[in-house]
Chains A and B, each alone.
Chain A
Amino acid sequence: MFKHDRIKDILPELGAIAGPENVHTDEAEILMYSYDAGMARARPEAVVTVTAAAQVAPLLKLLYKAGIPFLPRLAGTNLSGGTIPLKGGVILNLSRLKKIRQIDTGARLALVEPGVVNLELQRALEPFGFFYAPDPASQKVSTIGGNIGENAGGPLCLKYGVTSDNVEKLEVVTPEGDVKTWSYKDPGPDLMSLMVGSEGTLGVVTHAWLKILPIPRHIKTASAAFTSLDDAMRAVTRVIGDGIVPRALEAMDRVSLDAALNGKTSPFPAGTEAVLIIELDGADAVKVKRDLEDVEKICAANACAAFKVAADEAERELLWAARKGAYPAMARLAPDVLVEDGVVPRPRLPEALKETREILSKYKLTAGLLFHAGDGNLHPNMIFDRRDIQEVKRVKKAGYEILKSCIKLGGTISGEHGIGVEKRVAMNWLYGRDELDFFRRIKAAFDPADLANPDKILPVAADARAEAAPESLADRAALSPQARALVDELRLRARSGERTAVTGLGTRLKADRIMQGAKSLDLRSLASRAVIDRENLTVRAEAGLELEELRRQLKDAGLNLELPDLKGSVGGLIAAKVFPDLRELLLGLEIVTADGTLLELGGRTVKNVAGYDAVKLFCGSMGAYGVILGATFAVSAGARRAQAAYQEPAAWDAFEPDDYHRRLKKALDPRNLLNPWLYRGENTP
């Protein structure tokens, strides 16, 4: 089959939808859409510049009918090869969709098209006294659509969460051309959050409703210079551990700093090896000031050489210009740069740093080290010249070793840059076969013809496992005997085809809803003591643990779960999604599926964009996609924040499945064994 022909066949139709002048198949256009900011290359067969959001659905219908792959693309600043058309096909250039359609300060929402540049949105919000929290360093060029595709972070996500925490609702065109509008607050499994970070492999976002926040009245920015990067990392761990929540806590090493300063006189003392940028905000000037003093004390206790509070806006901007310019400034040192994006639990940063440095020196590489230190997210920017094949190989190997070291330290392989094609193979090291298989089912449910940005995120046959798969959840001691018993029970039921009613503690689920013939699965036994990681500020709790009990255990450790006072169990809280903003605290889940497969999703880091965001998919899943065995939450130190009174929605289970909910159900529980009444119809005998 000649690829050119398949495009030629539909050229008139493409032109009819998008306008013939917006469809390009000439050599120059093809070449100039064969790269992004990463290393991978592949040529598309056509580039269609979309000029109206309404064109996307008919275009996707057409491509689906013709069986031609497609890939939505915006600014092309992707760092993991996500916007490279590995199977050719059509690039949908959405850059022209850049209208800010609505700014609603009352509802605190902005409705934008995907091509709106992040910084342009910030500028549009500023006169109203609002901001949009995700602020990737690339915000000057990167777009909201791209930010959603990659689940972008940025310095401010330490306090305000990553993109997926700041999206309210999305309009999505599915690979088959259906237009859907999904919000994370909709009853049922959270399809919206699944789209965030899916790198264009599940559909194309055409409109986004974003959460906007009032600009805090007081913002204080300080820099702290250290003569050792390790000291700086220790200070970071202390700051967070003491319950101070800076809006940003960034670190850069000397190489990054020198590149960003670009010959300008350094404002830091001689011998500075690392600089922290600490920014605090709040409505209460006294508290901000007090926190800042505490931060200064902590820095001083960790051998800080100079601590300086930015005197004015100009000084503050200078600090941020240095931080945000540190990656692009690497371009001065060499023609190419590979940005790694590993994440480790924050207290492990010094170890991760040590290993990263050893790896860099082993491969004789120069790198500027940048950290979203508060998040445990490392960006070694390794410089090289891609014309030097040997050097490219060394950089590649070093990158992979750094990722492996992050995995070993309990972290993950991408915090905000995505998997794309360049980290596909590393998915094998992070996840077991079952998790990968689970992700593949999600992909197939959304994109059965495999047309949406194919061969991304999930390893393909060529990405053979170089080593043994990680120990599966079942083999790990983490699972309690009670949990094991439950898994065995489910496996037995699966074998005999017996239906199960996942009832949890029975807090919310009304008995009359339960379908006849579904055998109840009580999770009361899953209530062992929560595992608290005081330093990392996370807690892992079993699903049957009552929230009140969890809260009590946390309180004893001086920690809080920043949730309203809700009743019921940990698992019920997630499965019923009575408090949708729970998404901001939920980091990881352990799941057993209908056939008894164990899955470990998410992790212990606050940032994680490796694979689909299935953790959020289970929010509101009501037990029908799998049984939640345990969950990991982010907790806070210090005094508990005031929680607004929260009225649990009475009709929490008023759930009419979308056809994509049904598809997922079919993919994850084909025999409709779990809570079968929720998906009556085709699956019900």
Chain B
Amino acid sequence: MSPNKQHEEENRETAGAETGYDEISSPSAHVPSEVNELFAPENSGRHLTNLLTDLGERNLYDAAVQCNRCGYCETSCPTYMLTGRETISARGRNQFMRMLLEGKARDSAAAAESLSTCLLCGACTSACYAKVPTPDIVLEGRRTLDGYGDNFFARAAVKTLLDAPALFGFWLKLAYLVKMTGLPRLAAKMGLYDFIGMPGLADAEGAVNKVPLRFAAEILRRDPALRPGGKTAANWAYFAACGPNYLLTEVALATVRVLRRHAGEGIFIENQCCGLLAHNYGRLEDAREFARRNILRYEELKAVFGDFPLVADCASCAAFMKSYEQLFTGDEVWRPRAKAFAAAVRDILELIPAESLSHAEPARLEAAGRITYHDSCRAAHGQGIRKEPRAALRKLAGKRYTELPESDWCCGGAGAFAFTQPELSARVLDRKLRNIASVQANTVVVGSTSCLVQINAGLKAAYPSAKAVHYSVLLDSLTSEGAKLPADNAKINL
């Protein structure tokens, strides 16, 4: 049947139905994998078999089907608000995936624009009463779109990061050197920024003018106080997320200082990448491998120290690690271990109780100016963290803290989004910057690497009287004996 004919058929069929109810699909005839070869059994390992939704464990189809199309998520979807197109909206993406699974749409490539414009911010899930996990569902569609991350760069980067982190570090430093010579475009072409989830770096030249030639892990490893060896107790373990580790070492060091000051002595876990990159690039099996290694490392330490919180300082990583169980739903051995691991993960944003803080010295606050808080998507929507950081900031800054309008509107950084969708990303960012300017903030506190880079790049160009600062860095500067918030914004970035 020609596509045209098909249209007619469908239209006639619907119009002719007694009441217009859709009776085209029947459940028994649409076991998804039988219908759409994209989700054929040989690809089953490359897709999450089941999603852990708010309503319980569901297969992909059932998770998507839970959306009853009420549309209440639409106004929370940044890309819908900017484009006004159902195609570029949460409900649209969800419905397309459903139709793909039902075989009504044949090819995920048809919805390439729809699926690739999703920020994965999760605002839709927060707005949804059934908490339909649209970002997870979109990711399953994207995996097929990206050929399961089989292209050369994605494979090379993930594999290097996985099997030869030292080599990865070497390449990265090389890229940084190239950048320092003023050839950042070349660095971008080498694809290296992509690997750390910040391809936008190549464009955000203004914001990135200093890169670390010693990674956080290298510094922390040398700190005897952080070594597990010889210790019997640890109040916390620091998990160095890739952003703070490879790029924003200041953040990692600040987090460790804050932890020591407020939670006592702890250890550095010497972790691997959390696996989010591999996961989002479509390389699910690699993501599982990252997860397994981190779980093993955690279990080793747990055997010695008992329970301890595993603290990460990038909301994206923390949120992903909290969802490790979802990677192993079909794996009886690893599932409970992943669950136990996930239960130990804490975002630094939620860790420091406001009661343990007191109002900061006026001089320190002076440097920060008017402080506001941006909800990083993976903190607010991914982990439900909203109250804790606000309470801490209010306690520290008092009246100098002010609420940011639409604080959980995505900044448009969203990992690789700023790179793959520069135009849309800029428009998403623009609204964020306007809101920052509307409260005349000077310091925008964020909880994830991507937000930090993205917002700072935007502020530098459009509203230079404000700067984005990682939560740990601000906490450190307001509470420590020596450290003060550096006046030069750039130093915080890199």
A interface, CB within 8 angstroms of B: 2-5, 24, 26-33, 35-37, 39-43, 45, 47, 49, 75-77, 81, 84-88, 93, 95-96, 98, 115, 117, 119, 138, 140-141, 259, 262, 325, 327-332, 334-337, 385-389, 392, 396, 420-425, 455, 460, 462-463
Contacts and interface: CB of A to CB of B under 8 A. Distances in A.
B68 A422 contact: no
A559 to B, nearest CB: 40
Contacts of B105: 27-28, 31
Contacts of A325: 129
Contacts of A76: 71, 74, 86, 91
A331 B66 contact: yes
Contacts of A40: 14, 17, 19-22
A321 to B, nearest CB: 11
B75 interface: yes
A28 B129 contact: no
B15 interface: yes
B87 A335 contact: no
A331 B130 contact: yes
Interface string B102-138: 0011000011011000000000000011101000000
B84 A327 contact: no
Contact of B27 (A41, A77, A388): A388
A86 to B, nearest CB: 4
A392 B5 CA distance: 28
Contacts of A32: 86-87, 92, 95-96, 114
Given A49-B84, A396-B19, A396-B21, A86 B129 contact: no
28 contacts: A4-B3, A24-B87, A27-B110, A29-B87, A30-B7, A31-B99, A32-B96, A35-B69, A37-B71, A40-B14, A49-B84, A76-B71, A84-B14, A93-B84, A93-B85, A95-B85, A138-B70, A138-B72, A328-B128, A335-B65, A337-B70, A387-B30, A387-B65, A422-B20, A425-B18, A462-B15, A462-B17, A463-B18
Interface string B1-20: 00111011011001111111
Nearest to A24: B87
A39 B84 contact: no
Contacts of B181: none
A469 to B, nearest CB: 18
Nearest to B55: A332
A251 B8 CA distance: 44
Contacts, number: 185
A43 B10 contact: yes
B20 A140 contact: no
Contacts of A386: 22, 25
B87 A36 contact: no
Interface string B122-162: 00000011101000000000000000000000000000000
B70 A327 contact: yes
Q: Which of A43, A388, A420, A423 has the most CB of B within 10 A?
A: A43
Contacts of B111: 27-28
B71 A75 contact: yes
Contacts of B11: 3, 42-43, 85-88
A33 B96 CA distance: 10
Nearest to A27: B110
Contacts of B66: 331, 335
Given A28-B87, A77-B71, A332-B55, A39 B22 contact: yes
B473 to A, nearest CB: 34
A37 B70 contact: yes
B461 interface: no
Given A32-B114, A43-B11, A424 B74 contact: no
A87 B15 contact: yes
Q: Which of B3, B21, B74 has the most CB of A within 10 A?
A: B21
A325 B70 CA distance: 11
Contacts of B84: 49, 93, 95-96, 98, 115
A31 B96 contact: yes
A340 to B, nearest CB: 13
Q: Interface of chain A, helix or strand or loop or mixed?
A: loop
Contacts of B72: 77, 138, 140-141, 328
Contacts of A39: 20-22
Nearest to A89: B11
B24 interface: yes
Nearest to B8: A3
Q: Which of B24, B27, B70 has the most CB of A within 10 A?
A: B70
Contacts of B83: 49, 96
B15 A86 contact: yes
Given A28-B110, A40-B14, A329 B129 contact: yes
A75 B90 CA distance: 12
A337 B87 CA distance: 23
Contact of B70 (A3, A41, A77, A424): A77
Given A43-B11, A49-B84, A84 B27 contact: no
Interface string B466-494: 00000000000000000000000000000
B356 interface: no
B143 to A, nearest CB: 17
B331 interface: no
Contacts of A77: 70-72, 74
A396 B18 CA distance: 11
Nearest to B54: A332
Contacts of A84: 14, 20
B324 to A, nearest CB: 25
Contacts of B85: 29, 47, 49, 93, 95
Contacts of A337: 68, 70
Sort A-B residue pairs by CB-CB distance and give the 8 closest, nearest first.
A95-B84, A387-B27, A421-B20, A40-B20, A331-B130, A28-B111, A96-B84, A77-B71
A141 B71 contact: yes
A22 to B, nearest CB: 9
Interface string B267-290: 000000000000000000000000
Given A43-B10, A86-B14, A26 B26 contact: no
Nearest to A26: B110
Interface string B48-86: 000000010000001001111111101100000001111
Given A29-B87, A325-B129, A141 B75 contact: yes
A87 B85 CA distance: 21
B23 interface: yes
Contact of B7 (A43, A328, A329): A43
A116 B126 CA distance: 23
Contacts of A85: 11
B23 A389 contact: yes
B279 to A, nearest CB: 24
Nearest to A36: B69
Given A40-B14, A331-B128, 19 more contacts: A28-B87, A28-B105, A29-B85, A32-B114, A33-B87, A40-B20, A84-B14, A96-B83, A328-B128, A330-B129, A331-B66, A331-B132, A337-B68, A387-B27, A387-B30, A420-B20, A422-B20, A462-B18, A463-B18
Contacts of A28: 87, 96, 105, 110-111, 113-114
Q: Which of B62, B85, B128 has the most CB of A within 10 A?
A: B85
A39 B132 CA distance: 19
Interface in B404-462: none
Contact of A392 (B3, B7, B21, B114): B21
Interface string B336-364: 00000000000000000000000000000
B36 to A, nearest CB: 14
B35 to A, nearest CB: 13
A327 B70 CA distance: 9
Contacts of B114: 28, 32
B15 A455 contact: yes
Contacts of A30: 7
A348 B7 CA distance: 45
